[in-house]
Amino acid sequence: MQTDWQPTCSVDLLHLRARVLGQIRGFFAGRGVLEVETPLLGQGIGTDPQLAFFSTRYESPPNQHTLFLQTSPEFAMKRLLAAGSGSIYQICKAFRNGESGRFHNPEFTLLEWYRLDFGLPQLMAEVDDLISLLFADYGLQATQRLSYQDVFRKHTGLDPLVFSYPEYCAYAVAEGLPEAVAICAGDAVLWQDFLFSHKVQPYLGDNALCMVYGYPACQSSLARISPENPRVAERVELFIKGVELGNGYYELTDAAEQARRFNDELSIRQQRNQPAVAKDGRLLAALSAGLPDCSGIAIGLDRLLMLLSASASITDVLSFPIHRA
């Protein structure tokens, strides 16, 4: 306990974090994007079965209410968009249960922004501009833009848009990953996530920003489905040196479709015996009122700082990670 009180990051990295936050704020101020704040503690939480959450009890005598630490500010920010905020961004804390390791801390810092009248190509261009600014002194090579289907085929030989359970099983066993068969069973999303993280992601963004777009529609969640190909979602993820940095969408604005997807996710949560949650009625009401045409993305700033500082672990860029919080 003699040293347990001390931060795990250096003073130099405290200064780096402050400098990066200043650059980000200057970037968006120059483009007329409004900085906003939304609650970290909310009455609702997302239904995504891939995410675990923290809950707490709010004592308001004579009543008690269950509240949730937000896994992302997305739903609240979309309510602001529907209320007429215009393009917005936020730098905030987010919370995800069960996530701890080299790239994970249960409490982490997110940059999230939404741009009105942007499709996915315009959003990707803006991401490129921001990353180029932040990494200006680090010699990144030209940004790579790759379709999910192409990069998945290149590294696995499998087609992610046509799920074949026997082919995926045979590939996993041949590649020394037999545990995938038990972990993923017949779930296409679990298979894609598992194989992508083990066989594709490590090779993405070697000294460059890599944007992977056009994810399978079964991984759409909050993204629109491509009008040209119903098997593809208008979604993009960001990678540098094999590290996932961000996830963005050409945002779904259809309230009925979003409610249907929430129902599907609730069914999956029930099948997996995960904690029960309710659909966020306020988000659905905002979508019904009219979410403007927009694209949005969230970037993990702690991971970005890891890359900027060549740190080995997220612990190295946090003042007090969970084991010292």
211-266 per-position pLDDT tens digit? 999 999 999 889 999 999 999 999 999 999 999 999 999 999 999 999 999 999 99
Q: Could you tell me the two tokens for 287?
A: 């979508």
Contact in structure between 208 and 138 (CB atoms under 8 Å): no
pLDDT at 320 over 80: yes
| CA–CA separation, 183 and 279 (whole Å) | 27
Alpha helix stretches (DSSP H) within 223-273: 255-271
Domain of residue 61, residue span: 11-140+242-324
187, part of any domain: no
Contact in structure between 189 and 217 (CB atoms under 8 Å): no
| CA–CA separation, 306 and 325 (whole Å) | 19
Average the pLDDT over 27-46 and give the result.
Answer: 96
CATH number at residue 248: 3.30.930.10
Average the pLDDT over 79-93 and give the result.
Answer: 98
Cis peptide before 275 (omega within 30 of 0): no
78, part of any domain: yes
The predicted structure's pLDDT at residue 232:
97
pLDDT at 1 over 80: no
| CB crowding 165-191: b at 16 or more within 10 Å, else e | eeebbebbeeeebeebeeebeebbbeb
Q: Indicate whether this model's pTM tops 0.85.
A: yes
95, part of any domain: yes
Q: Could you tell me the two tokens for 192?
A: 């894609």
294, part of any domain: yes
| Number of domain units in the chain | 1
The predicted structure's pLDDT at residue 233:
96
Nearest Cα to Cα of residue 241 among 138, 320, 319: 138
The predicted structure's pLDDT at residue 63:
85
The predicted structure's pLDDT at residue 140:
92
Indicate the helix (H) or strand (E) that contains 222: none
pLDDT tens, residue by residue, 156-195: 999 999 999 999 999 999 999 999 999 999 999 999 999 9
The predicted structure's pLDDT at residue 135:
96
pLDDT at 316 over 70: yes
**Torsions phi, psi for 194 (to 5 deg):** -65, -50
pLDDT at 23 over 90: yes
Q: 3-state SS string over 122-151?
A: HHHHHHHHHHHHHCCCCCCEEEEEEEHHHH
The residues, ordered by sequence, that sit 6+ positions from 114 with a Cβ below 8 Å of its Cβ are: 77, 78, 81, 87, 88, 89, 251, 294, 295, 296
Nearest Cα to Cα of residue 80 among 36, 32, 120: 36
225, part of any domain: no
pLDDT band at 92 (very low <50, low <70, confident <90, very high): very high
114, part of any domain: yes
Contact in structure between 272 and 266 (CB atoms under 8 Å): no
74, part of any domain: yes
303, part of any domain: yes
pLDDT band at 139 (very low <50, low <70, confident <90, very high): confident
Give percent of the chain with pLDDT exceeding 70: 99
Strands (E), the chain: 34-35, 41-42, 54-60, 63-69, 88-95, 107-116, 141-147, 208-216, 232-240, 243-250, 294-300
pLDDT at 52 over 70: yes
pLDDT at 2 over 80: no
| CA–CA separation, 120 and 211 (whole Å) | 11
| CA–CA separation, 234 and 218 (whole Å) | 12
